[in-house]
Amino acid sequence: MLPPWHAYERAAEYFALAFGCKLVYTTVKNMKEDLKCYKPHYLVSVPLVYESLYSGVLKQIDKSGTAHKLIVLSFLKISLAYKEARRIYEGECLTKNREQPSYVVSLLDWLWARIFAILLSPLHLLARKFVYTKIHTSIGISKAGLSGGGSLSPHIDKFFEAIDLRIQNGYGLTETSPVVASRNPKCTVLGSVGLPIRYTEIKVVDAETDEVLPHGSKGIVKVKGPQVMKGYYKNPMATQQAIDENGWLNTGDLGWIVPHHSVGRSRNASGVIVLEGRAKDTIVLSSGENVEPSEIEEAAMRSNLIQQIVVIGQDKRRLGAIVVPHKEEN
């Protein structure tokens, strides 16, 4: 759902054609019907499309009978808890803590999560057979979705995981042709953009000193690899500001890297990248308080009444927001 001149769309198109894949083009108006008609193995799109599919599913559930609605929502809550328990015992949770967790505590945590997942597993399988297969049919994606070009909201990520529809979230910029990191079938850590792709290096540095920060510390994300651009066309000053003498591109994004742990909830999440917004997006109120608007925007986007929202308030006494409501919900 991107124009053909967009770097993300162009890269995905070339990749698919190189492997002999059949492509289906659609429009915003016809997207949902085309998904049901063609049932693509993969949907390559931006987070807004997955938010639209999510809203569509909730709308269908809301229109169903009271008993049916209660059953489906109960199954969803059970599946969310089941998937969270699985992430814990499989060691695919996010943590900024650099200290190695206690072996005994980690063992007890693993045992509790394992037992909890076993107890919930039959109910999740029941929901998958009688509820989620119908949701899959209504959505139309048969294998997985690929998301990029924007931030994928955590509640959208968790919803598709709960119904067993994999979303492979990725990260990149036009300046990096465009992919630098991505989740894949072997790296499915929710809330992250996965690991750097082959031949690509990523580091997190201090915004003031440019010193490399230890894993778990939030800072500016920098990227180095063969896909990084040579520079901005006929703009050496902008190029010098973006790329240093060693070839590291300043992405302008805030993020951190999950520390390495041999035990505990994050033992299989080591090295994945977590993004937390743009450095320039930070709002500084007149009181001097720093506010990250992405957290507020993500919380507001959970409402079916809101289609888009932008939090504002730079140099003001308090925050405000510009909201685009969902017309269909009003």
Per-residue pLDDT tens over the stretch 13-25: 999 999 999 999 9
Please state the rounded mean pLDDT for residues 225-242.
97
pLDDT of residue 146: 96
Q: Which of 71-75, 219-223, 301-305 has the lowest mean pLDDT?
A: 301-305
Q: Is residue 162's pLDDT more than 60?
A: yes
- Considering the domain architecture, whether residues 143 and 287 belong to the same structural domain is answered as no
Same domain as 255, residue 114: yes
Considering 280, 297, 320, which residue would you say is the last residue of a domain?
Answer: 280
For 84-133, the pLDDT digits (tens) are 999 999 999 999 988 888 999 999 999 999 999 999 999 999 999 999 99
Check whether 330 has a pLDDT greater than 70: no
> Are 214 and 272 within 8 A, CB to CB?
no
Residue 118 domain flag: yes
CA-wise closest residue to 73 among 84, 88, 58, 95: 58
CATH value at residue 320: 3.30.300.30
Give the pLDDT mean for 293-318: 90
Task: Answer whether residue 220 is part of any domain.
Answer: yes
| pLDDT in the model for residue 1 | 65
> Do 253 and 318 have their domain in common?
no
The verdict on 215 and 301 lying in the same domain is: no
In this prediction, residue 295 carries a pLDDT of 86
Q: What is the pLDDT of residues 196-218, one digit of tens each?
A: 999 999 999 999 999 999 999 99
Q: Answer yes or no: is 151 within a domain.
A: yes
Mean pLDDT over all residues of the chain?
94
Residues 54 and 182 occupy one common structural domain: yes
Do residue 159 and residue 245 come from a single domain?
yes
**pLDDT at residue number 287:** 78
- CA atoms of 184 and 307, how far apart (whole Å): 28
Residue with tokens 């049901």: 36
- Is residue 307 domain-shared with residue 196, that is, in the same domain? no
Angstrom distances, CA of residue 93 to CA of 56, 74, 96, 147: 29, 24, 10, 20
> How far apart (Å, rounded) are the C-alpha atoms in residues 233 and 242?
13
Nearest CA to 207 out of 197, 215, 217 is that of 217
How sure is the predictor about 138, in pLDDT bands with cuts at 50, 70 and 90?
Answer: very high
Note the pLDDT of residue 250: 98
Mean pLDDT of 233-247: 97
d(CA 232, CA 240): 9
pLDDT at 286: 75
Asked, for residue 1, whether it belongs to a domain, the answer is no
Instruction: Tell me the residue type at 271.
Output: G
Confidence of residue 223 (pLDDT cuts 50, 70, 90): very high
Which pLDDT score is estimated for 281? 87
Q: Residue 2 falls within a domain, yes or no? A: no
Of 81 and 284, more confident: 81
Number of domains composing the chain: 2
What pLDDT is attached to residue 329? 60
Chain centroid to Cα 116, Å, comes to 26
Q: Which residue range forms the structural domain that includes residue 183?
A: 7-280
Verify that 168 and 225 share a domain, yes or no.
yes
The answer to whether residue 250 sits within a structural domain is yes
The answer to whether residue 141 sits within a structural domain is yes
Question: Same domain for 95 and 119?
Answer: yes
Q: Are residues 276 and 309 in the same domain?
A: no
| Residues 133 and 162 grouped into a single domain | yes
Task: For the chain, give the percent of residues with pLDDT over 90.
Answer: 81
Beta-carbon contacts of residue 167 (< 8 Å; ≥ 6 apart): 50, 144, 145, 146, 147, 152, 156, 157, 160, 161
Q: Say if residue 170 is in the same domain as residue 36.
A: yes
Q: How far apart, in Å, are the Cα atoms of 44 and each of 30, 171, 255, 290?
A: 16, 13, 24, 35
Amino acid letter, residue 52:
S
Question: At a CB cut-off of 8 Å and minimum separation 6, what does 296 contact?
Answer: 311, 319, 321
Kindly tell me if the per-residue pLDDT of 288 is higher than 80.
no
The mean per-residue pLDDT over the stretch 318-327 comes to 92
In a domain, 67, yes or no: yes
Phi, psi of 216 (to 5 degrees): 100, -10
Q: What is the CATH number of the domain that holds 55?
A: 2.30.38.10
